[in-house]
Structures are given as structure tokens and as C-alpha cells.
Structure 1
Amino acid sequence: MKKMQSFRSLGRKVQQGFTLVELAIVLAVIGLIIGAVAIAKDVQRNAEYQKAINKFAYQWKMAYDQYYQRTGGVVGDCQQAPTYMVDGSETTVTGAGAGGGAACTRAGSMSVPGIPASFTGRGSKICAGQGYAADTVGQGDRALAGLNLRDLMTRAGVRMPPGRGEGHEDRFLYIDSNGNPAELQVCFQFNDAGVASGAGNVMVIRGLTPDLARYMDQVIDGKPDSREGRFRIQGRPAQTSTATEANGPGTQWEANNTEGVAINVGGAGSTQMNTSNTRQVVVNAPGNAGGTATGRTYDEDQVILLTAHWIMEQ
């Protein structure tokens, strides 16, 4: 009889489930694993962002500076009669006799000052190919210059970043926050005085997600402000003349990673308000399938892409 009771008690012990402490430990371990996976994704993305700026954007800035040191002029400028404008060799002097003259010869240019306002045809963008179609990754794209960025660097003996590979040094491939491939492209252009994204010669970086743009802005300027500093969004309206706006805080990068690629940033069909009380607001263009100002959270969407200007020292 005692043996039967001991067997029954043993059976009851075998049938017992996990204790609350054991369940808590299991759940804690599962939580740690999930957290580690999420952190690993963030670490991987941050490492990719660091590579984009250190191995690509910064190296292109070094290549631009090296070109200036070797040739005595900026990219695409005249060596014998520099204009200090990117693509200056393709401009003409407005006061140079009948119909003007080429900037590099300066024929008859003594009749006008040698400042940008005296040159026509300025402001074209020097790239190594079109890349993204005009105004598809931010509004305000300039026309392509007749010169090729890769050819200019090669002729001057300037070493370019590896980029995507031989012949594609101006491109850099990365993954957006939804896992979709996106491509950066580097160009250079001259901005006239008064251009909100920065006057003078700038590096044009096309194909930035808002997350990557903010990261680069933080590294370059120390704060993610799309309208101030040396790193700015292309097509940003200038500050208004009111004292409140002029002395107010800057403007955040208006797009975010929950917005689809079809959003029209700053162009026809979109609304961008620029007052001290209502900052940049992105509204989906009519007929577009992308996100809206409130954000679309489809994790299969291509994240919206932007264009930024990095102001150069020369």
C-alpha cells in the first residue's frame, strides 16, 4: 500500500509544469535574444552609415580638395583664368564684345567685373552620368554640365573613392531601414549667392534617406538642422525677413523613414510651409502612392530619398 502511494506521489511530481520562476527566466532569455537581434540591426545600420560618410562622402571631399591643390582651380574651372566656380570653363563672360566670350579666354572681359554675376551659363552640375532622373530624389536639380566628373579626376591624377567599383566611383550602395537597396551619387555644382542650400561650390549628394541625411548632418555640423550649417537639404526655402523667423531655431529634415519614395518634396503638388510656427510639412502629391505627412508604415515600401548640399571650402 505504501509503495502504491509513493508511486502515485511520484507521478504527481512528474506531471507538474514549470514554476513561475522558471517561466520568468525563459521569458527573460527570449527577451534578451530578441533585443540582441534588434540591437544588432541598429549596429549594422550605423556601421553602414559610418561607411557611407567616412569611406565615400569624406573621401570625395578629399578628392575635390586634392583636385584644387593639383590644378589650382575647382572642378571644371579654367586653370589659366580661374573663375572659382565649378564648371566655370563652360561659362561665358556677358560683357565680352558682341555675344560674349568664353570664360577661359576672357576676351573683352575688362569691361565687366570678374564675379559670378558677369558669367552666363553658370551653375550646371558636374556628375559622372545622370543617375536618378531629375527631381525624383528632391526638387531643384540643375542641368548636367558637358564635363564628366570621373574624366576630370582621372586627367588630374586624383585618386577617387572605390564607390561601387571601377567606373562607378561616384556611386555608393546601401540598404534603407526597410531593407531596400538605395544608391548615393556625388556631383559638384556652383550655387549663386542667396541660394538657401548654401552659396558657392557645393558637393551634391543624391539618394539620401532622411535617417542617413540626419546622421551626416550630425557628423558634419554637430546638429541635424536641414537649413543651417555646411550640410543642407536641396531646395529648402530661405529664411523669411521677419525677426521671429530669422532668430528662431532651424528646420528639421522634414521627411522620415515611414514615408514612401513617391512623396514629392518641395515640388508641384506638395506643400512646404516655412514660418516660425509651422515648419516644413511634406504632403503627398496628387495621385502618388507613397506616404503622407502623417507617415505610411508599410515596411515593404522604398523609403523616401532626398538630396543634400555640402558646402566646400574652395
Structure 2
Amino acid sequence: MKQMQSFRKLGRKVQQGFTLVELAIVLAVIGLIIGAVAIAKDVQRNAEYQKAINKFAYQWKMSYDQYYQRTGVVVGDCQQAPTYMIDGSETSINSGGACSRAGSMSVPGIPASFTDRGRKICAGQGYAADTVGQGDKALAALNLRELMTRAGVRMPPGRGEGHEDRFLYIDSNGNPAELQVCFQFNDAGVASGAGNVMVIRGLTPDLARYMDQVIDGKPDSREGRFRIQGRPAQTASTEANAPGTQWEANNTEGVAINVTGNSTQMNTSDKRQAVVNTSGNAGGTATGRTFDEDQVILLTAHWIMEQ
């Protein structure tokens, strides 16, 4: 009889469930796990951003500088008659080739006197003008990889042999995105920076802001050495020395962007742009979409070179 009573007491104890203290501990542990997962995602994304700039963008900057040190001219320029412009060897002056300077003594040897200037030098096939938005230059005949290899300059590893100009990363929504590097000369008055620039396409707004902060310490898309491509120049007198402009859009959508078929329409008053990826679809969603699975809008930036 005593044994049966003890079994009943034991059964009642087993059926009592968790105490409030135990539930609080379990909830606290769950909260810590969720927080750790969220922090881990941010840490992983920051690590990818650091890799994108330190092992890709900065390495291409070093390759560009090494090319200048070894050849005495910028990428694609004439060694015997430098124009100090990227792809200068494919330009003409006074109806003569830039490298021979035939008939050039009658005009000043400044960029404004050269025609066919400003074409971008990419590796491999590159991408045509107006592919990723306003400000795209025509593609030069010269090949970036061949020029670097000929000068004995080691390029960053990129995506692998033959694809040193590319870098693959994951955007904040888990979609793959690719950076591509080219070089070009910008005329005076171009809002993204005059002179020789490195063109980096395929940047999410978050990555663009991060790179801008690292490069010149000021995440401003109009000012400094790292600027967005396609920004309209300031023309009004009230805009002189006015505050710059932040990197537009966010990590889920492109503001004022409407996607129609395979083309991207820009709001002319907003001047915000999306990139067209290899499949022909716009890399960004229409205004109003904020789905977690959406492709993050991709921007193109110009990094102003010293040489």
C-alpha cells in the first residue's frame, strides 16, 4: 500500500511540467541563439566586403600603379608620346594617330584636342556602352589582361585564371553578384571624377558605401575619390560647394526604378540606375518591392587614380 502511494506521488511530480524559471532560461537561450545567428550573418557579410576591397579592388589599384611604374605610362597609353590618358594609344589628334602625333604641333597636346578619347579598357569581352546605366563608355580594342601580362604585372586572383577582373560575392539577400573592373579616362567636368579612373560595376549600395568609407573616409557618392557613375553635374550657382549626395537605394530595392521586360527605365529627375546582369534582366526590383529574396540593386562607381 505504501509503495502504491509513493508511485502516485512520483507520477504527480512528473506531471508538474516546467517551472517559470526553467521556461525563462529556455527562452533566454533561444534568444541568445537567434542573436548569435543574426550577428554571424553581419560578421560574414563584413568579411566578404573586406575581401572585396582588400583582395580585389585594392589589388587592382596596386596592379595599375605597378603598370605605370614599369612602363612609364598609364594603361593603354603611348610610351613614345604619352597622352596621360587611359587608352591614349587609340585616340587621334588633328587627324593623326596619338602615338605618332602627325600634325599635332598646330594644336595643344591636352585631352580636349584628342578625339576618340575616354573608351574603357576591360579584360576579355568587357561590356558595351550603356549596358549598366548612364555614363557607360564604349569599349576599347585593347585588352586589360593582355596589357598587364605583357608588362609583367601580376593581377589579383579574381574568379580564377583568365577572370582576374571579376569577383563573386553574395548580396544581403543571398543572391550572387559579381564585381568587374575596367579603366577609363573621364573628361573635365564629369561628376564622377575627371582624369583616369577605375570603373567598378556590380556594387550593392551597402558595399559601395563601405568601399567609399574605406577609400576616402567619407561615404558621399558625389565627392572624394570614390563616386557613383552617372551622377549629373551640378550646374546651378546654389549648388556650388553644396553638401554631397549619399549612395542611393537600399539592400532590397532600387528607388524610382521600373523594370520593363529586359530594360531598365530611369527616372530622369532622380538619376538612379540599375545594372543589367548577364541574363538581361535588371539587377534590382521595381519600386515598392521589399521582398527578402529580391535581387539587390547594383551600382557602378569610379575610383579616381593618382596617375
Which TM-score band applies after superposition, normalised by the shorter structure?
Answer: 0.7 to 0.9
Contact 2:118–2:184 under 8 Å retained in 1: yes
Contact 1:207–1:305 under 8 Å retained in 2: yes
Partner residue, 1:42 = 42
Alpha-carbon distance change, 24 to 137 in structure 1, aligned in 2, over 3 angstroms = farther
Q: Give the CA deviation at 1:139.
A: 2.3
Q: What whole-Å deviation, never above 9, does each CA across 1:283-302 have from its counterpart, x for those lacking one?
A: 99999988668552222222
Q: What whole-Å deviation, never above 9, does each CA across 1:254-278 have from its counterpart, x for those lacking one?
A: 12111169946999x9999999999
CA distance in 2, matches of 1:276, 1:166: 42
Alpha-carbon distance change, 229 to 266 in structure 1, aligned in 2, over 3 angstroms = farther
Alpha-carbon distance change, 30 to 134 in structure 1, aligned in 2, over 3 angstroms = farther
CA distance in 2, matches of 1:85, 1:49: 30
Alpha-carbon distance change, 77 to 290 in structure 1, aligned in 2, over 3 angstroms = closer
Contact 1:220–1:230 under 8 Å retained in 2: yes
Structure 2: which 5+ residue stretches go unaligned?
A: none
Alpha-carbon distance change, 79 to 264 in structure 1, aligned in 2, over 3 angstroms = farther
Alpha-carbon distance change, 261 to 115 in structure 1, aligned in 2, over 3 angstroms = same
| % same residue | 91
Q: What whole-Å deviation, never above 9, does each CA across 1:29-88 have from its counterpart, x for those lacking one?
A: 111111111111111111111111000100100110111111110000000000000000
Contact 2:275–2:282 under 8 Å retained in 1: no
Contact 1:162–1:169 under 8 Å retained in 2: yes
**Secondary structure, aligned partner of 2:148:** helix
Alpha-carbon distance change, 266 to 141 in structure 1, aligned in 2, over 3 angstroms = farther
Contact 1:284–1:292 under 8 Å retained in 2: no
Tell which deviates more after alignment, 304-313 or 176-185. 176-185
Alpha-carbon distance change, 215 to 26 in structure 1, aligned in 2, over 3 angstroms = same
Q: Give the CA deviation at 1:181.
A: 1.2
CA distance in 1, matches of 2:278, 2:222: 23
Alpha-carbon distance change, 292 to 122 in structure 1, aligned in 2, over 3 angstroms = same
Q: What whole-Å deviation, never above 9, does each CA across 1:225-261 have from its counterpart, x for those lacking one?
A: 11110000000012233x5433432111112111169
Matching of residue 258 in structure 1 with residue 223 in structure 2:
no
Contact 1:283–1:293 under 8 Å retained in 2: no
Alpha-carbon distance change, 264 to 108 in structure 1, aligned in 2, over 3 angstroms = farther
Q: Give the CA deviation at 1:201.
A: 0.2
Alpha-carbon distance change, 301 to 277 in structure 1, aligned in 2, over 3 angstroms = closer
Contact 1:262–1:304 under 8 Å retained in 2: no
Q: Give the CA deviation at 1:224.
A: 1.2
**Secondary structure, aligned partner of 2:264:** coil
Alpha-carbon distance change, 299 to 273 in structure 1, aligned in 2, over 3 angstroms = closer
TM-score (norm. length: structure 1): 0.86
Tell which deviates more after alignment, 250-259 or 83-92. 250-259
Alpha-carbon distance change, 192 to 290 in structure 1, aligned in 2, over 3 angstroms = closer
Alpha-carbon distance change, 118 to 225 in structure 1, aligned in 2, over 3 angstroms = same
Number of residue pairs aligned between Structure 1 and Structure 2:
307
CA distance in 1, matches of 2:269, 2:194: 23
Contact 1:224–1:252 under 8 Å retained in 2: yes
Structure 1: which 5+ residue stretches go unaligned?
A: 94-98
Higher percent of residues as strand:
2
